[in-house]
Every structure is written in structure tokens, then in C-alpha cells.
Structure 1
């Protein structure tokens, strides 16, 4: 990863943390909690966020300029996921991680 800037490495790390957080929260927190935590729209958004983060990290690791597009989309999905998690409640870890990821992705999108 030496060819990547420290800014890009930081964004990759945030994306991978967000990927891990969203998947873990949906499977280990939302599913057992039930109720509004498992509303289809919320679960789909969390899964889309995880996948968007994984894809953005992957594209940055490839070192192509396409990362600007994936990071822009990732930032939007992460922000939407943070809002959904905030509305559902009792998901602050996910809210915080999604917002950190959105911020770094906006920077990488330019």
C-alpha cells in the first residue's frame, strides 16, 4: 500500500471499519433486537452501506481514478445509513462510524 497516499489509506481503513460495523450491527444487534431494527428498509440500507464501503475500499486499493465515483456514492449511502440508525435508536456505534466514513469518502471524492 506504499503507492497510496496516507489520506487514501485512512479512507480505506474507515471504509473497511464501516463495512465491518454495519454487517456486525445488522447481524448481531438488529436481528436479535427485532422491531424497528429489522424493518426491511433499514436492514437493506445497512447492507447497502456495508457493500458500498467494501466496494470503495476495493476500488481505492486498485489505484484507479474510479475511486472518486465510488467514494462519492459511498458517502451518500453512509450518511443515509447514519440517519436511519439514528432514527431507529440504540445504534450510536454505527451512526458514528458511518459519519466518519462519509466524511473521509467525501474528501476522497474531491
Structure 2
């Protein structure tokens, strides 16, 4: 059985947590809260973040030679999502998940 590198596994876990958190918050909390929470630009960055996290997981699981630049892009999008979520009520979990994922992806991209 091939072992997944522990640092890569940690990154995949952080990506998974971010993916689920962003999707859940966008489709539930943000839509229900309305106002600034439901603005198109905010909803789009949350969807982008969830999607790039899922893509990054796939690339790492396959040990794709392209995983480094996918992870670099993922870190950038996660930071943009964290910025968009900052200052909106009840979005602390999302900000934290995005930041943790961005930091983990930076390590993978290095």
C-alpha cells in the first residue's frame, strides 16, 4: 500500500474542510442572511473556493505533476474568499477554514 505523504494528507484534509465549509456556509448561512452575504461577487468567490479545493484534492490524490500550481491557485482563491467573508456576521468558521487551507496549499506549492 502506498502511503500518502503526511504533509500532502494534511493539505488534502484542509482542502476538504474548506470545500465543505464554503459550500455549506454559502448555500445555507449566506443565502438565509441575504444582503451583503448574498451578493453575487461574494457567492461566486465562495463557489470558486469550494471548487478549487475539490480540484486540488483530486490532483494531490493522483500525485499529478501539476498539483503544485493547482495548490498555488487554491491558496490564492482561499485568501480571496477569506477576505470576502471577513466582516460578515457568522463567517468566522469560513475565514478560518480558508486561511488554514491557504497555508497548507502554500506548503504544497513550494
Cα distance in 2 between the residues matched to 1:86 and 1:107:
24
Task: Summarize deviations over 1:11-50 as a string: whole Å, max 9, x none.
Answer: 0000011000000000110000000000000000000000
Find the counterpart in structure 1 of residue 7 from structure 2. 7
User: How many Å apart are 1:100 and its aligned residue?
Assistant: 0.1
Query: In the alignment, is residue 29 of structure 1 matched against residue 29 of structure 2?
Result: yes
Find the counterpart in structure 1 of residue 48 from structure 2. 48
Task: Summarize deviations over 1:50-77 as a string: whole Å, max 9, x none.
Answer: 0000000110000122110100000000
Q: Normalised by the size of structure 2, how large is the TM-score? A: 0.96
Q: How many residues align?
A: 110
Structure 2 portions without partners, runs of 5+: none
| RMSD over equivalenced CA pairs, Å | 1.1
After TM superposition, the runs of 4+ consecutive aligned structure 1 residues lying more than 3 A away are: none
Query: In the alignment, is residue 87 of structure 1 matched against residue 94 of structure 2?
Result: no
Find the counterpart in structure 2 of residue 60 from structure 1. 60
Q: Normalised by the size of structure 1, how large is the TM-score? A: 0.96
SS in 2 for 1:28: helix
